Amino acid sequence: MSITDVQMLFQFVGGLGMFLYGMNAMADGLQKSAGHRMQQLLGALTKNRLMGVILGAGITAIIQSSSATTVMVVGFVNAGIMNLGQAVGIIMGANIGTTVTSWIVSMSEWGEMLKPEFFAPALVGVGAIMTLFCKNSRKKQVGEILVGFGVLFIGLTFMSAAIT
């Protein structure tokens, strides 16, 4: 096993750890801050699979990452905000939205800046500041969500880099 292989393994394991920690932090923050209201909103938006598919495609087109959409949905299911039936439609839509994402990126010079990997460190920074310095518990919870989301994407970036 060469030094490059060991480095790749460490990078992948570190990325996996960040991904899992980020998903857990995001789910905890979502559960604390949004819980019942978010559950009602998502229930209304995903009352049938077609609505879920449209929502998933729309979210993916906006944030330009089907991985991000899928991870958010997994976080919602993990936090008990959404059930598996609701998640299926959104994840199907996320895969459809990936096509729209490639159109947006190809037509826009801002495409790279809109990818989550680009702004994930800023999310961690802003979220950490909110978590550490805000007195309001709602703002602290939003900070936790931002930190979780950012760390999750940094972890995904590390894992992708390790594999390529």
Give the residue extent of every domain in the chain. Answer: 7-163
Q: How far apart (Å, rounded) are the C-alpha atoms in residues 80 and 28?
A: 10
pLDDT-based confidence at residue 121 (cuts at 50, 70, 90): very high
Q: How far apart (Å, rounded) are the C-alpha atoms in residues 142 and 29?
A: 7
Q: How far apart (Å, rounded) are the C-alpha atoms in residues 56 and 67?
A: 11
pLDDT-based confidence at residue 124 (cuts at 50, 70, 90): very high
- Residue 104: is its pLDDT beyond 70? no
How crowded is the C-beta side of 137, counted as CA atoms within 13 Å?
4
- Residue 112: is its pLDDT beyond 90? no
Q: How far apart (Å, rounded) are the C-alpha atoms in residues 5 and 58?
A: 39
pLDDT at 109: 65
pLDDT-based confidence at residue 29 (cuts at 50, 70, 90): confident
| Percent of the chain whose pLDDT exceeds 90 | 32
- Residue 111: is its pLDDT beyond 70? no
Where do the H-state alpha helices sit in the chain?
A: 3-33, 35-45, 49-63, 66-78, 84-107, 116-133, 137-163
Determine phi and psi for 111, rounding to 5 degrees. Answer: -55, -45
Rg (CA), the chain: 17
- Residue 147: is its pLDDT beyond 90? yes
pLDDT at 48: 87
What integer best gives the mean pLDDT of the chain? 84
